[in-house]
């Protein structure tokens, strides 16, 4: 069951809007994700607790940008994998070509007991709702490359990538 703060979140709407903006302008939408036990992604591509995923039409199959989860299938090293990302674990969505997009604060909520029972965890390893400990602002810069990204364009230069600066 979602609490009132979760049900009023604008995050899934902003993700869908920026995804549509990317598609409308022939940009490649990428999402940066904070990976924890609630995120289903190939762990071998996770670096420093984060992964960047290409969610373009060409890179995914069955993409669903829901209010609670982003779900799709994608190929990693030629192998099809099911991906499921809780929307509250999305740190940013941006266009690969120019880095324009939006960053979000990380939200960690203690799940209710029903969710704990379904996942088989106690929930004690997750953070509480204390705002000072569970959300943070991200300062993002562009640099480097992502492990699953296509090669740079022929126009030269590096592709943009989000990098967290503390």
| Single pTM value for the model | 0.64
pLDDT score at 136: 34
pLDDT score at 161: 65
Counts for the chain of helices (H) and strands (E), in that order: 4, 9
75-112 pLDDT tens trace? 999 999 999 999 999 999 999 999 999 999 987 664 44
Return the higher-pLDDT residue of 84 and 154: 84
- Determine what percent of the chain is predicted with pLDDT higher than 90: 57
Is the CB of residue 162 less than 8 Å from the CB of residue 142?
A: yes
pLDDT(142) > 60:
no
4-165 CATH fold: SH3 type barrels. (2.30.30)
Domain boundaries, the chain: 4-165
Q: Which residues contact 135 (CB under 8 A, 6 or more apart)?
A: 105, 106, 107, 108
């Amino acid at each position: 069951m979602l609490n009132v703060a979760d049900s009023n979140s604008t995050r899934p709407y902003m993700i869908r809007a920026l995804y549509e903006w990317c598609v409308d302008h022939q940009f490649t939408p990428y999402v940066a994700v904070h990976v924890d036990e609630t995120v289903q992604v190939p762990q071998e591509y996770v670096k420093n607790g984060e992964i960047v995923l290409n969610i373009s039409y060409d890179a995914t199959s069955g993409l669903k940008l829901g209010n609670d989860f982003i779900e799709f299938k994608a190929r990693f090293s030629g192998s099809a994998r099911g991906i499921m990302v809780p929307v509250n674990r999305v740190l940013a969505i941006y266009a690969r070509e120019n880095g324009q997009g939006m960053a979000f604060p990380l939200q960690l909520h203690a799940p209710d007991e029903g969710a704990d029972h379904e996942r088989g965890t106690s929930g004690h390893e997750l953070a509480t709702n204390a705002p000072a400990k569970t959300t943070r602002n991200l300062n993002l810069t562009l640099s480097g490359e992502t492990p699953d990204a296509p090669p740079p364009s022929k126009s030269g230069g590096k592709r943009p990538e989000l990098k967290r600066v503390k």
